[in-house]
Amino acid sequence: MACIEKIYSVSALVGSGACNGNCAFCAGKYLRPQASDDAIYWKNFESAIKLSARYGGWSLSLTSSGEPTCDPDAVTKALCVYQKCAGEGAYFPNVNLFTNGILLADSAFCEKWLPLWKDLGLTNIAVSIHSVDLKKQAEAYGLEQYPDLRNIFANIRKYGIGVRCTLLLRRGEINNAKKYQEAVDTLIGTYGVDNITSWPVANPDGSRNSFTPSWWGLCTIRLWLHRNTKLCHGHVWGGGVYDYKGAILRLTDYVTKHDPKKDFVRQLVVFQDATVAYSWIREGALCMK
């Protein structure tokens, strides 16, 4: 058994699990009954932040079993806990909110919450993109219409928060090198997004499903990155970070299964039932309960 030398990040599910989307391939729906706001959850959330920081962690990500912006009070409470930890030395240079972006098209919502969240330490908002074609983006979210991305990004930038995109790789849409390049070039050239992370849609345990791109399609994306970008560094858990025309592209796996023989942990995951695990796959990876 190896001793842990590094815990790179913390990912925490926050809020009620409410959602304003209706994705056919939702990975968080099965976790919604676990949503809670009890003291043990917040105690373990704080402990996970401090533990990761002690082992060199550099990133905190807030997500949800639904859409976190549908419960802005919970996002605020999570950032308040983080701010307390940061004041005690458990500081992360990257504090990210993962969102479908829908509510961020509402300028009144942004005016109310984004300045507060920035003051509490939020550095980036990562908007999930299934397609740069807004009609297909709406279809992916089960909506009649998806807001204009320009409005979403402008509202975020107005308050000094960084814009990132999670470009999801999905069968039938962004599933090969050609479509990947088209989407990346549109996000960079049209919308000015210079930090894009991608991973293939999959089951919560990391296994393939009907929405996962083909093995060959994913290979063509990796080959395109090899030929058209400069590798900045590789991830020990797979994938890497690339420089593409001055923009950052990341390619990684949706889920990394914890290996107790390795001396690193990719992320501590704080589930809404207060369990903290070394992976999104909880079996054999429990840290706190």
* pLDDT tens-place string over residues 133-182: 999 999 999 999 999 999 999 999 999 999 999 999 999 999 999 999 99
Domain extent, residue 81, equals 6-288
Question: How far from the centroid of its chain's Cα atoms is residue 109's Cα?
Answer: 21
Beta bridge partners of 177: none
Residue with tokens 């025309």: 245
Helix and strand counts by DSSP (H, E) for the chain: 7, 14
The CATH number assigned to the domain holding 30 equals 3.20.20.70
Does residue 38 fall inside a structural domain?
Answer: yes
Q: At what angle do helices 72-87 and 107-119 cross, to 10 degrees?
A: 20
Does residue 140 fall inside a structural domain?
Answer: yes
Does residue 1 fall inside a structural domain?
Answer: no
Q: Examine the pLDDT at 108 and tell me if it is beyond 90.
A: yes
Phi and psi of 70, rounded to 5°?
A: -75, -10
Does residue 42 fall inside a structural domain?
Answer: yes
Does residue 146 fall inside a structural domain?
Answer: yes
Nearest to 134 by CA among 145, 125, 123: 145
pLDDT at 156: 98
What would the pLDDT profile of 197-255 be if each residue is shown by its tens digit?
999 998 888 888 999 999 999 999 999 999 999 999 998 888 899 999 999 999 998 77
Give yes or no for a contact between 3 and 262, defined as CB atoms under 8 angstroms apart: no
Does residue 79 fall inside a structural domain?
Answer: yes
Does residue 219 fall inside a structural domain?
Answer: yes
Domain count, the chain: 1
Does residue 41 fall inside a structural domain?
Answer: yes
Mean per-residue pLDDT, 91-117: 98
Confidence of residue 74 (pLDDT cuts 50, 70, 90): very high
Nearest to 92 by CA among 123, 68, 64, 63: 123
pLDDT at 2: 66
Beta bridge partners of 195: 248
